[in-house]
């Protein structure tokens, strides 16, 4: 193929990652053949200064070693523009030529980058095995290790990636790059247990690796011990004063986790009277439950945000010697308190926009958008490639549908199909339109008219839809699901139907659950997981409380359990709390993320299919621990492979509790939009928690 023809190849653009940038900026010198002819090319791995057209033109004018270098530069230029296919075509031309060892390594390095851009990390790693380190200078070697580590991470080879990144520190020059690399190493290191770190330390003969393993052990052995941890870190720094982790300490802006929060005087800001008293009291009872269960000795003072100003309550709390604040619940109260409080650590029970980062201020609330995003992940993980959403018209339904669709776009490359309803009558009419059975019936009618007799035919529903996400209240779901069942063709492939906690009702009869047969639904572990002791006790103590209030009870329990874990979670994103409101982790903005459990209605019963601690996606901030059974060899280039958690077995969930004869009235008084039916919520209260919004119509337990 003439090199000039490469310019006409069709290409697919892709975003460049950090490794591409390193490849572009790296430097290398190539030994030229004395028989080379043409303009002398710059080093192949030097910063690019021209277009791929220019490099190809020079290649056509050159011969020998110069010709090869110009082609390698052209391939790198194509990559810089996102044209991986053209880069691979250039490299394929070089397979026929006699390359020097250095040129061969440079070619394999560029080819590996092309495969990474194509999403084929496995092939990229195979290509990198053919690169000889001795043939690359330090800058190109940094590119090699960065590319290799990222490809290993993409292939879930976390331990191997950690070893690659540790070696990479030897070739980085910029402080920012070293700091970022140290943070990456630290996250990967914390995926290992104390026993694994001790094994690696015993096996390793390299001081660079040993220093990392010792630092990881210090964190695990002395976490939460305050001054003792600081002393051990200081001793470690004296041992390794020139180590990269000593010069550029890993972890958060405060370094490795500081002393755990162990408050002795906690002020809890909650609405204990007025409009939101039921929710505030449920959270209070959850805090008290967790406090008494652990035999707490701290002083806890509950302050009613409905009877005094936030400024007055804050002054009262500080005067009483508070050293930690839990709450408030309402957004407006949180915003006011954050303006007043710059000293006391705080765990607010809601999310606020543009709060700004404060290392001692944390935010904990259940997010409807987060639930929708997790549902998209669940549908995708179940192998379904085409999904649609059925949601109520209004702000809440549109927020949830948009969150699902955006997450679906990131997973599949296309947005989900979304349909909105406004009332029950429209719900019944829209299902045949969505599944296109109306169009099928019209075709049958036309055929019968054409042939002049009653031809036998079956109405067919569309076959491309594999999953449906229904955002609806329980009564709405009870209408939509049966209509889907009777509309879908009997010979069509079973599609998955998914709902969230908004659709949950804990007083459904077995007959009602039979109508929802095979529907997947997500919810808090306290509600969906079988034999949950907190659920049984709550039913006994508060039989008239709604499921929504029970969710606030769970938030209270987990809020108290989070306090001593926050510092460690802030320093290490792999640290998680197995809570009753979900699998809890802390993101870089100090927001607590919650991952829900998944169940399925099967033959009139609710079965747990995925506990909350198994629902977290692998590519999130969460890091899956490395298996204890995996062999470790710290001296080898590759340490050990990860093992994946098996799916938990199904467990029957007998939710046979019967509702009181007279249900309690809804505890919230949310306004309904003028154009929205009474069975569909709208949300005008900006300062409500996201959970208040999504569960205000729950029936009592």
Domain ranges of the chain: 3-247
Among residues 562, 593, 689, 695, which one has the least CA distance to residue 271?
A: 689
Is residue 683 packed enough to be buried (19+ CB in 10 Å), middle (13-18) or exposed (0-12)? buried
H or E element that contains 78 = helix 64-80
Average pLDDT over residues 181-208: 87
- Tokens 């099928």: give the residue: 440
Structure-token pair, residue 195: 């026993």
pLDDT at 432: 79
Among residues 94, 237, 86, 212, which one has the least CA distance to residue 159?
A: 212
Give 273-323 pLDDT, tens digit per residue.
Answer: 999 999 999 999 999 999 999 888 899 999 999 999 999 999 999 999 999
3-class state of residue 363 by DSSP: strand
pLDDT at 159: 83
* Distances 73 to 5, 89, 695 between C-alpha atoms, Å: 17, 13, 59
H or E element that contains 384 = none
* Distances 582 to 26, 107, 149, 284, 404 between C-alpha atoms, Å: 45, 48, 32, 19, 19
Task: Measure CA of the first residue to CA of the last residue in the chain; give whole Å.
Answer: 73
**pLDDT tier at 9, thresholds 50, 70, 90:** very low
Q: 482 with 513: CB under 8 angstroms?
A: no
CA dist 604 and 530 (Å) reads 15
What does DSSP assign to residue 619? Answer: T
Q: 6 with 89: CB under 8 angstroms?
A: yes
- Highest average pLDDT, of 7-11, 150-154, 435-439, comes from 150-154
- Tokens 């569960």: give the residue: 695
CA dist 524 and 585 (Å) reads 15
Q: Which value, in Å, is the radius of gyration of the alpha carbons in the chain?
A: 30
* Distances 353 to 332, 399, 589 between C-alpha atoms, Å: 11, 16, 11
Q: Which of 95-99, 646-650, 692-696 has the lowest mean pLDDT?
A: 646-650
Long-range contacts of 668-675 (CB under 8 A, 24+ apart): 668/275, 668/276, 668/692, 668/696, 669/275, 670/696, 673/394, 673/395, 675/393, 675/422
Paired sense of beta strands 346-348 and 361-364, if any:
parallel
Q: How many CA atoms lie within 13 A of 115 on its CB side?
A: 21
CA dist 680 and 235 (Å) reads 62
What does DSSP assign to residue 482? Answer: H
**pLDDT tier at 419, thresholds 50, 70, 90:** very high
Count other C-beta atoms under 10 Å from residue 422's C-beta. 16
The C-alpha angle 211, 213, 216, rounded to 5 degrees, equals 110
Structure-token pair, residue 668: 């919230």
pLDDT at 302: 98
Average pLDDT over residues 603-623: 66
Please tell me which residue, 195 or 685, carries the higher pLDDT value: 195
CA dist 479 and 427 (Å) reads 8
CA dist 157 and 618 (Å) reads 12
* Distances 100 to 30, 40, 45 between C-alpha atoms, Å: 9, 16, 15
For the stretch 275-296, what's the b/e string if a residue is b when 16 or more beta carbons lie within 10 angstroms of its beta carbon? ebbbbbbbbbbbbbbbbeeeee
Q: Which of 259-263, 406-410, 517-521, 556-560 has the lowest mean pLDDT?
A: 259-263
Long-range contacts of 125-130 (CB under 8 A, 24+ apart): 125/151, 125/152, 125/155, 130/104, 130/105
pLDDT at 348: 97
Among residues 374, 607, 597, 604, which one has the least CA distance to residue 469?
A: 374
Q: 13 with 82: CB under 8 angstroms?
A: yes
* Distances 580 to 157, 508, 525, 649 between C-alpha atoms, Å: 31, 22, 5, 20
What does DSSP assign to residue 297? Answer: -
As a dihedral over the C-alpha atoms of residue 80, residue 82, residue 83, residue 84, rounded to 10 degrees, the angle is 90
pLDDT at 258: 57
pLDDT at 118: 84
CA dist 201 and 186 (Å) reads 16
**pLDDT tier at 259, thresholds 50, 70, 90:** low
pLDDT at 155: 85
Q: 338 with 318: CB under 8 angstroms?
A: no
H or E element that contains 498 = strand 496-499
Give 544-590 pLDDT, tens digit per residue.
Answer: 888 889 999 999 999 999 999 998 888 777 788 999 999 999 987 88
CA dist 472 and 679 (Å) reads 10
Residues 6+ apart with CB under 8 A from 591: 351, 362, 363, 364
DSSP of 15-52: ---HHHHHHHH-----PPPTT-BSSPPPPTTSPP-S-H
Q: 303 with 313: CB under 8 angstroms?
A: yes
Annotation: CATH topology of 3-247: 1.25.40
Give 136-171 pLDDT, tens digit per residue.
Answer: 887 788 889 999 998 998 887 888 999 999 999 999
Q: Which of 256-265, 354-363, 616-625, 626-635 has the lowest mean pLDDT?
A: 616-625
Average pLDDT, the chain: 77
For the stretch 33-47, what's the b/e string if a residue is b when 16 or more beta carbons lie within 10 angstroms of its beta carbon? eeebebeebbbbbbe
pLDDT at 4: 43
Q: What percent of the chain has pLDDT over 90?
A: 36
As a dihedral over the C-alpha atoms of residue 437, residue 438, residue 441, residue 445, rounded to 10 degrees, the angle is -170
Residues 6+ apart with CB under 8 A from 4: 56, 60
């Amino acid at each position: 193929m003439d090199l000039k023809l490469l310019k006409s190849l069709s290409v697919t653009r892709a975003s460049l990652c950090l490794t591409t940038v390193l490849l572009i900026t790296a430097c290398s010198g190539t030994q030229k053949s004395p028989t080379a002819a043409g303009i002398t090319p710059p080093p192949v791995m030097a910063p690019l200064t021209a277009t791929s057209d220019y490099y190809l033109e020079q290649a056509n004018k050159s011969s020998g070693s110069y010709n090869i270098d110009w082609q390698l530069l052209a391939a790198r230029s194509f990559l810089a523009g996102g044209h991986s296919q053209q880069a691979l075509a250039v490299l394929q031309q070089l397979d026929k030529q006699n390359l020097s060892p250095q040129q061969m390594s440079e070619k394999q390095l560029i080819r590996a980058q092309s495969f990474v851009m194509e999403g084929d990390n496995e092939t990229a790693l195979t290509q990198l095995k053919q690169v000889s380190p001795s043939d690359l200078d330090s800058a190109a070697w940094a590119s090699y290790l960065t590319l290799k580590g990222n490809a290993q991470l993409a292939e879930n080879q976390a331990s191997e990636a950690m070893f690659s990144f540790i070696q990479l520190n030897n070739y980085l020059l910029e402080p920012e790059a070293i700091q970022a690399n140290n943070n990456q190493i630290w996250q990967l290191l914390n995926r290992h247990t104390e026993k694994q770190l001790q094994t690696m330390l015993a096996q390793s003969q390299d001081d660079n690796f040993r220093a990392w393993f010792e630092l990881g052990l210090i964190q695990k052995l002395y976490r939460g011990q305050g001054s003792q941890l600081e002393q051990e870190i200081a001793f470690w720094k004296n041992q390794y004063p020139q180590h990269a982790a000593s010069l550029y300490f890993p972890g958060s802006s405060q370094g490795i986790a500081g002393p755990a929060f162990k408050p002795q005087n906690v002020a809890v800001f909650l609405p204990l009277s007025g409009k939101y008293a039921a929710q505030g009291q449920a959270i209070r009872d959850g805090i008290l439950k967790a406090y008494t269960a652990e035999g707490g000795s701290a002083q806890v003072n509950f302050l009613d945000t409905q009877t005094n100003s936030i400024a007055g309550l804050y002054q009262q709390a500080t005067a009483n010697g508070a050293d930690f604040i839990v709450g408030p619940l309402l957004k407006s109260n949180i915003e006011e308190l954050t303006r007043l409080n710059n000293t006391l650590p705080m765990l607010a029970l809601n999310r606020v926009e543009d709060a700004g980062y404060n290392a001692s201020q944390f935010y904990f609330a259940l997010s409807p958008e987060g639930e929708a995003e997790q549902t998209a992940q669940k549908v995708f993980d179940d192998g379904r490639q085409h999904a649609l959403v059925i949601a109520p018209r209004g702000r809440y339904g549109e927020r949830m549908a948009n969150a699902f669709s955006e997450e679906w776009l990131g997973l599949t490359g296309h947005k989900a199909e979304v349909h909105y309803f406004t009332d029950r009558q429209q719900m019944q009419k829209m299902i045949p339109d969505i599944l296109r059975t109306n169009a099928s019936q019209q075709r049958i009618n036309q055929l019968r008219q054409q042939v002049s007799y009653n031809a036998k035919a079956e109405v067919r529903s569309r076959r491309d839809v594999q999953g449906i996400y229904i955002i609806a209240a329980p009564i709405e779901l009870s209408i939509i699901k049966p209509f889907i069942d009777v509309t879908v063709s009997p010979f069509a492939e079973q599609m998955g139907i998914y709902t969230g906690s908004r659709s949950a009702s804990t007083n459904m009869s077995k007959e009602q659950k039979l109508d929802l047969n095979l529907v997947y639904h997500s919810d808090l572990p306290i509600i969906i997981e079988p034999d949950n002791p907190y659920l049984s006790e709550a039913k006994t103590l508060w039989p008239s409380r709604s499921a929504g209030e029970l969710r606030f009870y769970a938030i209270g329990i987990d809020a108290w359990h989070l306090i001593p874990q926050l510092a460690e979670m802030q320093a290490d994103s792999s640290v998680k709390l197995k809570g009753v409101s979900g699998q809890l982790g802390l993101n870089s903005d100090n927001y607590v993320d919650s991952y829900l459990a998944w169940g399925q209605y099967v033959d009139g019963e609710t079965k747990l299919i995925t506990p909350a601690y198994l629902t977290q996606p692998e590519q999130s901030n969460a890091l899956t621990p490395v298996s204890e059974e995996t062999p470790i060899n710290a001296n080898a280039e590759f340490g050990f492979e990860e093992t994946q958690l098996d799916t938990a077995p199904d467990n029957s969930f007998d939710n046979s509790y019967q509702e009181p004869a007279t249900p309690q009235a809804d505890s919230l008084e949310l306004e309904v939009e003028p154009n929205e039916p009474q069975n569909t919520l709208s949300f005008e209260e900006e300062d409500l928690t996201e959970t208040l919004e999504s569960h205000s119509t729950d029936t009592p337990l």
